[in-house]
Amino acid sequence: MKILICCTNGSSSSALVRKLKDELQEANMDNSVTIDYSAFILVKNKLDQYDIIMCCSHLQYYVKNMIEEHIKDKVPVYIMPMKIYGSMSAMELLIDAQDVIEEFSKKKMNPFHFDGEENILHVKRTVAYRNYKGERDE
């Protein structure tokens, strides 16, 4: 699986990717998963290189235009809720990425969101969607 994590200029996403890569290496999964980072403005040039684009929450207002103009339904775009960005483990992030890719192939919803997570500001989980046992905000 190839994941691209984006923020505005690549600073926070680079820190997150370093953390995630360390976790993947410790779990001996660094050869089966590729996680890179990028400034969001550069995404349009990298669409064919990744299975999923995961964005930090403050990009939610820019994502729609990028999808309409460049991404369309070529690759799923998932805006990570604020509580998740930076606090989720690599294994939990991979579960969410796999689930987004699978559901996107059926629904073609872009940007993708899990059921009950239409408003990312209300998401309380810090684990993968399928592992979350708390209340879901609607």
Report if residue 103 sits inside a domain: yes
Residue 6 pLDDT level (bands cut at 50, 70, 90):
very high
Question: Is the Cα dihedral 119, 61, 92, 106 positive or negative?
Answer: positive
ω into residue 81 within 30 of 0, thus cis? Answer: no
pLDDT in tens, 49-97: 999 999 999 898 899 999 999 999 999 999 998 888 878 889 999 999 9
Report if residue 136 sits inside a domain: no
Q: What is the pLDDT of residue 12?
A: 86
Q: Decide if 47 contacts 71 (C-beta within 8 A).
A: yes
Domains of the chain: total: 1
Does the predicted TM-score (pTM) go above 0.85? Answer: yes
Q: What is the pLDDT of residue 136?
A: 53
Q: Can you tell me whether residue 134 is helix, strand or coil?
A: coil
Q: What is the pLDDT of residue 137?
A: 47
CATH code where residue 121 lies: 3.40.50.2300
Q: Given a cut of 80, is residue 131 above it in pLDDT?
A: yes
Report if residue 137 sits inside a domain: no
Compute the CA torsion angle 118, 120, 124, 129 (nearest 10 deg).
Answer: 60
Report if residue 138 sits inside a domain: no
Q: Given a cut of 70, is residue 135 above it in pLDDT?
A: no
Q: Which residues contact 21 (CB under 8 A, 6 or more apart)?
A: 30, 35, 90
What is the domain extent for residue 115? 2-131
E strand segments, 1-138 = 2-7, 34-39, 52-55, 77-79
